[in-house]
A and B are shown apart, each in its own frame.
Chain A
């Protein structure tokens, strides 16, 4: 049984509610389905505005889902509220991109961790204090620093504190929304290694969101590629990067600058920007930018289906066979 099973999840935001007539709806997440196994890291990539963060926030119930199911550990968490939701939340936690704004500047970090433990555990003060020390140790901070305020730490250290806070309730899943994007490369590597060490020790699962494909490939077993609220391709990281089945993934992969002079590849330059989710194009959402689009792409919406190889790889493209054949020719 997968740890997390998402079925046809949909997130909508009402926008520009007029005085007359119905409010417009922005559909940020469109019928998304996927699973995360226990102990697995699943990467989620896509450009800004594609719905990555909305999906993440909907999964941890920070945003309201308008349809679909979220089955966590065999239990539907969308139906939960109040005390039951609060208890369920201790098994899924979130870390955010900006460790500066996700810590209360007036709270000592020991107190920030203590607050979590007071709410979610039945430990006494002494028990909590020793747990705080072990949490700080676990993320590579000196337990004696518990009395300091967030501003006394560097960006990387603050992200460690956020990770410790997420770990405090012993969650089974951490949804990490761009956790390393705001950090310098040397610090980014420290945080990635830390997340992997913690996974090795505790068997925790991650939904890891980032726009840096190299980082996502490095940390994830599987990758989901999102475009305009929909998953357009999913599969094992190595396979997706080596041999993308969707033209959008192919463009993303080719656009990553690689620090290796021997591997200068031709970039696929996509024209234009991601269309506004307020007025998504008809048919395949990617067709206005797709170099391979045919007539059918303008009117019909392709389903997310197993690619021709019949494997675990899913892609949403009418041309998946032709596209693959073309790539074979190019090689």
Chain B
């Protein structure tokens, strides 16, 4: 969503995607009507509390969810083809075509690098495997692995690439994961809570690295986080999810400084303002509902601070009818009353 280049440079576009899980014979919709697109070189952040559908949405991009229990009810996921056409819908692809998407178009990094890396292979083996899967291989894989490790800031890469994952610290493991992701030269890096397991100084290193890679290679990034500080620091645009719905989306600076949806506002008010006079934190009563008992109307109704100030008729509307994601000028919100 970088304005004028919006349509021509979209790397991936998701439209009206709905995902369900079938659990004990019951079909539960966990993501409903998700639409977004990411431009070349854009950082899009996906925020929300646990259980809002963030990770499921990310995994669906490369059809990584096990099917069954997962199923895609509707919508499309398209990676732009090299000739500029929108590309085939990933949901209609054959397994071999899906593998090609996974191989060429996107790479993932996850929260726990120690779990994502294979403990019985060296860092070199794991990165060289990705290089070997590429279409064009020129030069020596050893040199390329070393240069990738140097690019992600691992000191002494030639000796470090012979290490097994357990011989590296958490921050170094996450760097190795990023090097592996870069090895495939993907258009999109999907980073699912990449720094949640790391200390704050290491988090700063990793976020700095992701920003640098974006700057240098104009790779697009989809970053999942619950930390609104990270969103404000590095994202260009934001999607706020709640209970499987996108409740607000827009450019990051505007969304953070003037949120529209009561949930976004509540999230921002619930975190202590660093370096400011302490105030009583606003809380959101209760918990995120589970997909088996989503409310019929607005899914945030029941926890919504705005609803308390509404009249009887208005509250009845919140309880019974599902609001649409509406907006203008790039800002959208799913609320009957807060615009």
Q: Does B272 make an interface contact (CB < 8 A)?
A: yes
Interface string of B255-286 (1 = CB under 8 A from A): 01100000000111011111100101111110
Q: Does B204 make an interface contact (CB < 8 A)?
A: yes
Partner of B230, one of A184, A189, A257: A257
| One of A16-24, A117-125, A266-274, A321-329 contacting the partner | A266-274
Contact between A270 and B226, CB atoms less than 8 A apart: no
Contact between B274 and A255, CB atoms less than 8 A apart: no
**Which of B201, B270, B282, B283 has most A Cβ within 10 Å?**
B201
Q: Does A193 make an interface contact (CB < 8 A)?
A: yes
Q: Which of B172-188 contact A (CB under 8 A)?
A: 172
Q: Does B169 make an interface contact (CB < 8 A)?
A: yes
Contact between A262 and B201, CB atoms less than 8 A apart: no
Contact between A184 and B274, CB atoms less than 8 A apart: no
User: A206 to B233, alpha carbons, bound, how many Å?
Assistant: 32
**Which of B231, B268, B283, B287 has most A Cβ within 10 Å?**
B283
Interface string of A217-256 (1 = CB under 8 A from B): 1110000000000000000000001100000000111111
Interface size class of B (residues with CB under 8 A): 35 or more
Partner of A193, one of B169, B200, B283: B283
Contact between B278 and A217, CB atoms less than 8 A apart: yes
> Are A259 and B228 also in contact (CB < 8 A) when A189-B281, A190-B283, A213-B200 are?
yes
Q: Chain B: which residue is nearest A267 at the CB level? A: B204
Contact between B287 and A211, CB atoms less than 8 A apart: no
Q: Chain B: which residue is nearest A48 at the CB level? A: B199
Q: Chain A: which residue is nearest B268 at the CB level? A: A259
Q: Does B101 make an interface contact (CB < 8 A)?
A: no
Partner of A241, one of B172, B271, B274: B274
User: A185 to B226, alpha carbons, bound, how many Å?
Assistant: 8
Partner of A242, one of B199, B202, B208, B275: B275
Specify which chain A residues have a CB less than 8 angstroms from the CB of B288 in the assembled complex: 184
Partner of A211, one of B200, B204, B270, B274: B200
How many chain A residues touch B (CB < 8 A): the figure is 44
Contact between A273 and B169, CB atoms less than 8 A apart: yes
Contact between A217 and B275, CB atoms less than 8 A apart: yes
Partner of A47, one of B200, B266, B268: B200
Partner of B203, one of A255, A260, A272, A273: A255
Contact between A47 and B201, CB atoms less than 8 A apart: yes
> Are A188 and B270 also in contact (CB < 8 A) when A251-B201, A252-B200, A270-B205 are?
yes
Nearest CB of chain B from residue A175's CB, rounded to whole Å: 21
Q: How many A-B residue pairs lie within 8 Å, measured between CB atoms?
A: 123
Contact between B200 and A214, CB atoms less than 8 A apart: no
Specify which chain A residues have a CB less than 8 angstroms from the CB of B266 in the assembled complex: 186
Contact between A187 and B229, CB atoms less than 8 A apart: no
Q: Does A107 make an interface contact (CB < 8 A)?
A: no
Nearest CB of chain A from residue B330's CB, rounded to whole Å: 15
Specify which chain A residues have a CB less than 8 angstroms from the CB of B169 in the assembled complex: 273
Specify which chain B residues have a CB less than 8 angstroms from the CB of A156 in the assembled complex: 287
Q: Does A192 make an interface contact (CB < 8 A)?
A: yes
**Which of A187, A213, A259, A262 has most B Cβ within 10 Å?**
A259
Q: Does B125 make an interface contact (CB < 8 A)?
A: no
Interface string of A145-181 (1 = CB under 8 A from B): 0000000001010000000000000000000000000
Contact between B274 and A185, CB atoms less than 8 A apart: no
Specify which chain B residues have a CB less than 8 angstroms from the CB of A192 in the assembled complex: 272, 281
Q: Chain B: which residue is nearest A49 at the CB level? A: B199
User: A256 to B207, alpha carbons, bound, how many Å?
Assistant: 11
Contact between A189 and B271, CB atoms less than 8 A apart: yes
**Which of B199, B230, B273 has most A Cβ within 10 Å?**
B199
Q: Does B73 make an interface contact (CB < 8 A)?
A: no
Specify which chain A residues have a CB less than 8 angstroms from the CB of B144 in the assembled complex: none
Contact between A255 and B201, CB atoms less than 8 A apart: yes
Nearest CB of chain A from residue B18's CB, rounded to whole Å: 24
Q: Which of A40-77 contact B (CB under 8 A)?
A: 47-48
Contact between B226 and A184, CB atoms less than 8 A apart: yes
Q: Does A258 make an interface contact (CB < 8 A)?
A: yes
Contact between A213 and B270, CB atoms less than 8 A apart: no
Partner of B227, one of A211, A257, A274: A257
User: A259 to B233, alpha carbons, bound, how many Å?
Assistant: 7
User: A263 to B231, alpha carbons, bound, how many Å?
Assistant: 13
Contact between A269 and B208, CB atoms less than 8 A apart: yes
User: A66 to B207, alpha carbons, bound, how many Å?
Assistant: 40
Q: Which of B241-262 contact A (CB under 8 A)?
A: 252-253, 256-257
Specify which chain B residues have a CB less than 8 angstroms from the CB of A268 in the assembled complex: 204
Q: Hey, which bits of chain A sit against chain B, CB under 8 A?
A: 47-48, 154, 156, 184-190, 192-193, 196, 211-215, 217-219, 241-242, 251-262, 264, 267-270, 272-274
- Shortest Cβ-Cβ A-B pairs, 3 listed: A257-B229, A218-B272, A186-B284
Q: Hey, which bits of chain B sit against chain A, CB under 8 A?
A: 49-50, 155, 169, 171-172, 199-205, 207-208, 226-233, 252-253, 256-257, 266-268, 270-275, 278, 280-285, 287-288
With A186-B49, A186-B270 given, name 4 new contacts (CB 8 A).
Answer: A211-B200, A214-B229, A241-B274, A257-B229
Q: What are 22 pairs between A and B in contact, CB < 8 Å?
A: A47-B199, A186-B49, A186-B267, A187-B287, A189-B270, A196-B280, A214-B272, A252-B200, A252-B201, A257-B203, A257-B233, A259-B228, A259-B229, A259-B268, A259-B271, A261-B232, A264-B233, A268-B204, A269-B201, A269-B205, A270-B205, A273-B169
